[in-house]
Structure 1
């Protein structure tokens, strides 16, 4: 069953913490002031024990800047705005407590200007051209009538999710863990449509194009044009979708039709899709070159300029887990001896093998109960019950391990200029008593 919760934990109130959870040092300092104790982690958000031995240590820390909340029709007013032009908003982890992410809680990531909502969705046309035997022009209505529709619950995740944990800061929207959601998508496998067009032997890569206008207003410039290897395009879970959670795909989420390329950076899941060109080589559109959606091949010095020749395209997203209940900053009554945790985990093209939780900064771990996914690329929900030895301040850490045995790190590692692949363990603070 789905769980509906607010920002506070079940049975608990909340004390004031940074919206970034424990990624930002200002949040830690603020909690220290509230609790009246010394904070156990370094103020740079790096997760390293520190003594706070600064000159003038008695001076109060600067008040953290509060988050800007989204005001958008049909959207939850607790989504946090990361950028206004283009509009980008993330979902606090505690709002991701539903098995299926409601549309109003789903994150927003735009690259250009938001197109006007189409008045006749079924007349919307998609072109398939390039390395195909038959150039295809097909409407959304024809997609619905000519192919068998399928519905799958799958994670969609921004390629920059977790970026805020990098030190030094990387360029781009400072996502914590909220650039992800798991919705029920209805549509047809892209492979079925590509089979109709007939792929040539030379078909190697897709190139995606959309109707959103470039921020400059120049209609000749694609806002973003990403693509994927033809093998991923032919995966039956890569879909052309027109519905989200049983509703017509909202305009803000790419309606009337978009791609869903699960497990890979969300930028490949083109919204307001108008054309897919099949190419005989790796696509080189906007968002495919230099450092965009790319990871370093040889690890680079954090903060260095970087050499584009040392970068490869990011494909499968890294393993991640989040604690969805209680919320960061939850406060519980004195004498509380037990905390019930809920969360979610996912691992790109892979599955999650296990989730572990800790209340002693990773010195010891307790295995959580991990649920099976509804289908491939669904997230895996987990639960755990923690025993608390005393009242006081506790940090709860969550660590997922994927099906290849790779676990989340304590810190965002393998720094890159645009901050991709940051999957540091999620941690929250709670106060008992």
Structure 2
């Protein structure tokens, strides 16, 4: 996509001219998020979640730095320090609740951002690198959130850390030494808390660096759009500012209103009551579960209850625990291969009727995994988790590749302008040409 028609930055005062020559930060901002960045004119509200994700990342960093000033990574005082922050630090209760619920809202926004990518095939060429960096960011977020959940040193913090770090022990040969090295002992202890606090403080800045790369990669091909048709000319775009800054701004205000309601009126609704009890290695909670945003992958982990054996011999090839660990990590790692698993030449699910049916089945399957991850590890939830897990992998590894080969998509609009206005007087082609033949990607605009 060419940005030849983009407005160019022109400094108007002596100060801005000098700054542009010595350190062109205003030019960078102008070209990245200002009038110098042309964006498809047909973006719907699902494209707002990228900006929201950036906001909540910065919000978490700022509130996290403030909380770190009053926290002590020591098992003897960590739980008491949380109480100290809540009761004695000016607005400490607000910082604590805002940070804890900010993590939940951050993941809500990211999940919606990812599902938008699934539906509109944002992982396809020429945007593969944007998608791959996004998956890296998601993995970094999961690691950061897990380590942060341990810091309050409540019951769920301790036992969650014990269960999750115990998964590394399932790795053959190196598992137990790796687990001891990670935890600093044979069970979560003071060394664990120190390490997790250090990494939890550092990782958001690593995520910020990955986000910068993510945005940089986005600006090379430009934003995708609901039709999946590439930008062909100036009339297909509008400047990011003021059109999308205004749209993103009011949507951010709406989400922050909901966020404020949760923080002020239901601050513990998304947490676990067990975590308000100080960690006790001698008292195991009745139900050990992670935070809600890990539920789908926790359900996949618990779905494997039997060893993989050689038939009729009883020889164990892979133990159930290791199978669960492989499946849990594999459920996310396979997202890296989506650009090559889905070979349909049409990007948008709006023009893929068969894909759309299976996409919504997949959404229901993910909703089931969210529920099952927080349920008790007993029947019928175990069988339901196994069925939902099987469908999850079938969707990506079998259904999606087959659909991309056999599906007959709907006719695509000639351009974004046509999709918005119903006509494109500048085009010399038919208003509704046939979709590209299977196996051929739409020709990118010069």
**Fold shared, TM-score > 0.5 on shorter chain:** no
Point out the structure with max Rg over C-alpha. Answer: 2
Q: TM-score scaled by structure 1?
A: 0.25
Considering fraction of residues, name the structure with more helix. 2
Larger strand proportion of the pair: 1
Which of 1 and 2 has higher RCO (CA within 8 Å, sep 6+)? 2
